[in-house]
A = this chain, B = another copy of it.
Amino acid sequence: MPVITFEMTPMSKEQKQEIVKGFTETAVRVTGIPAEAFYVLIHENQEENVGVGGTLLADMED
């Protein structure tokens, strides 16, 4: 029943595949629970919807 949620900005499909594979492998190794019991949810947040230090990512200069 374990659920892993990843709050992130937009990613490519390849990145999502690697995240889901890597998180699940770590969780299986550490807990001993079978892989098929692990759910991973990826929430892609636009830069306008994320704040760090009181400022939106969308307003930060790189």
Task: Write 28 A-B pairs (CB below 8 A) sorted by A numbering.
Answer: A1-B50, A2-B8, A3-B39, A4-B4, A4-B23, A5-B7, A11-B30, A11-B31, A13-B56, A13-B58, A16-B51, A18-B29, A18-B30, A19-B26, A20-B54, A21-B55, A22-B22, A22-B23, A23-B51, A26-B26, A35-B53, A36-B53, A38-B53, A40-B52, A41-B49, A41-B50, A42-B50, A43-B43
User: A residues bordering B, Cβ < 8 Å?
Assistant: 1-9, 11, 13, 15-31, 35-45, 48-59
**18 more CB-based (< 8 A) A-B contacts, given A4-B23, A39-B39:** A1-B52, A2-B6, A2-B8, A3-B41, A4-B5, A11-B31, A15-B31, A16-B49, A19-B27, A20-B56, A22-B22, A22-B23, A22-B29, A37-B53, A41-B51, A42-B50, A43-B43, A43-B49
